[in-house]
Amino acid sequence: MTNRGFDKQVRNFAQDLGIPFLQVAVYPDPFDLETDAQLREKTVKIVFPQIVDALTKPITGPKGPIATGDGREIVFTGTIDQINRYFTDKGWSDGMSITPPTRQKVAEFLKYTDYPPDQEIAVLPPANLKATPWNIAVNGVMAGCRPEYMPILIAAVQAIADPDFRYKNHGGSTHSFMNFFWINGPIARQLGIDYGQGLIANPVNRVIGRAMSLIERNIAGLRIKETQMGSFGKQLSWVLAEDEEAMTKLGWEPYHVGKGFAKNANTLSAGYSTLWGRNLIPSTSDPKILMQIMAYGITTTEAFASGFTGQSQRYVLVAPGVAKVLADGGYTKKSLREDLIKNARKITYEAVFSKVYGSFGPVYNSFEAELQKALKNKNTKKGMLPPWYPRFPGWENIETSPVITQVEFIVCGDPARNKVQILAGGPGSAIKEIKLPAKWNELMAKAGYRPLQEFFLK
């Protein structure tokens, strides 16, 4: 049984799991907006008859095997305009102009990986199709990528397929989670993946993000109104790099080094967020107050749904100038993380109200029952009211709850501006090494690039 609008998604998921003719009963309206009386009435009058029919009538469906195609066959011949219209009508394109994925163009991409064209790189839910260098390259061509971006695309596919990324939980979610990727290592500087002002709008960054959105569409099988159920839609994936040179000057380690990789290793990390971010403009040279305004931004930028606290993390994009104030004030990434987790708290009453009425609604108990449960939680504390609340007689008795359990920092953006961006991240993330082909230096020299070693950090 499912809600209206999800029946097609359920049937598609079932088919991908090997159940071609799943019987589905559909409840006609949003559960959480109904009274108990409405739920009972509609279940009895509308849902129960569907269940009876599903259990008593013969299952009907198309006969014979489901048709499949050869990924290398020529599917269409025509003008650029005709090809774009055909790909859009087939659901293979996002509606914007594509570069036709000819065999010749795909072959150019395959030069930039040592994997065989048909080797399984990953299996992507919900369609559970194999991602191979061949079909990854096809989507990269369509997006407008250059062939030398191929190792980035392969690493990105491996990252979203990692169980730690939890893609099967959020890829087609109604909450419109956006995937984003950030690159560390000399390859980012060699390829010109931007980490400065306007970074995600840089053409290199943008086409890689678009390629990953097409891969979600064509390999993971996420299509709007079918399996991609974002209530207000899902934006294209976006890509950035970290300003490692600025971090080195500050004495902070780059993100990938904190995850155990060597300084000049090439890595791709993946995260997801429900929005592009809460923009902060810190106006202080006091590192403690700067930390506090960041904690305020974290607290007021909720992930997933209202009241979803304690189970999620935040990603914080920090402009180099802001990072310098923090570092000069004695903050390391570790101590900054500890202080943000300590200070990012909500009044427990407020958190429970938000959770009960703005998140899952009737899935929880009554407001009073949830409040009592929260007050007994070991992480609920008195005397920890965040610094942006006024102090008045009795404030020490106000109980608060933590908002996050983890926060990650990415130093990037305009070095001339005092900016911080808070991303409402979910609990999943992944990092993968970008594997370059044996002939990378030779290929890149022919393509007009400077040697990779020239971009190493000292």
* DSSP for 130-165, written as a single string: EE-HHHHHHHHHHHT--GGGHHHHHHHHHHHHSGGG
Model pLDDT for residues 243-254, shown as the tens digit of each residue: 999 999 999 999
- Residue 26 host element (H or E): strand 26-27
**Which DSSP string do the residues of 307-359 spell out, in sequence order?**
T--SS-EEEEEE-HHHHHHHHHTT--HHHHHHHHHHH-EEEHHHHHHHHHHHT
Q: Which of 11-25, 318-332, 365-379, 391-405 has the lowest mean pLDDT?
A: 11-25
Model pLDDT for residues 192-203, shown as the tens digit of each residue: 999 999 999 999
> Which residues neighbour 300 within 8 Å (Cβ) at sequence distance 6 or greater?
278
Q: Which of 120-124, 153-157, 174-178, 235-239 has the lowest mean pLDDT?
A: 174-178
- Which two three-digit tokens encode residue 57? 């009538």
**pLDDT reported for residue 305:** 66
**Whole-angstrom distance, CA of residue 354 vs CA of residue 283:** 30
* Residue bearing the bigger pLDDT, 152 or 25: 152
Burial readout 74-84 (b: 16 or more C-beta within 10 A, e: otherwise):
eeeeeeeeebb
Residue 20: C-alpha distances to residues 3, 26, 69 (Å): 20, 18, 18
Look at residues 318, 305, 248, 266 and name the one whose alpha carbon lies nearest to residue 444: 266
3-class SS shares of the chain: helix, strand, coil, % to 5? 40, 15, 45
Q: Which of 108-117, 268-277, 291-300, 398-407 has the lowest mean pLDDT?
A: 268-277
Query: Angle at Cα 281 formed by Cα 279 and Cα 286, nearest 5°?
Result: 135
Provide the 3-class DSSP secondary structure of residue 273: strand
Domain definitions of the chain by residue range: 2-56, 99-274+430-458, 279-425
- Computed over its alpha carbons, how large is the radius of gyration of the chain? 25
Model pLDDT for residues 84-108, shown as the tens digit of each residue: 999 999 999 999 999 999 999 999 9
What is the phi/psi pair of residue 195, to 5°? -130, 5
Give the confidence band of 414 by pLDDT, cuts at 50, 70, 90. very high
Q: Which residue has the tokens 């429970």?
A: 352
C-alpha torsion angle, residues 246, 249, 252, 257 (rounded to 10): 70
**Whole-angstrom distance, CA of residue 122 vs CA of residue 114:** 16
Beta strand 267-273 with 430-433 is antiparallel
Phi-psi region at 102: left, alpha or beta (left = phi > 0; alpha = psi -120 to 50): beta
C-alpha torsion angle, residues 214, 218, 224, 228 (rounded to 10): -90
Beta strand 26-27 with 2-3 is parallel
Beta bridge partners of 422: 278, 316
Neighbour count for residue 337 (Cβ, 10 Å): 17
Residue 303: C-alpha distances to residues 89, 124, 297 (Å): 34, 24, 12
Q: Is the pLDDT of residue 310 over 80?
A: no
Q: Which of 104-118, 158-172, 178-192, 429-443 has the lowest mean pLDDT?
A: 158-172
Q: Is the peptide bond before 126 cis (omega within 30 degrees of 0)?
A: yes
**pLDDT reported for residue 27:** 87
Give the confidence band of 64 by pLDDT, cuts at 50, 70, 90. low
Q: What's the chain's average pLDDT?
A: 90
Look up the pTM and report it: 0.88
Neighbour count for residue 451 (Cβ, 10 Å): 13
What is the phi/psi pair of residue 399, to 5°? -95, 135
Provide the 3-class DSSP secondary structure of residue 304: coil
Q: What is the mean pLDDT of residues 199-210?
A: 97
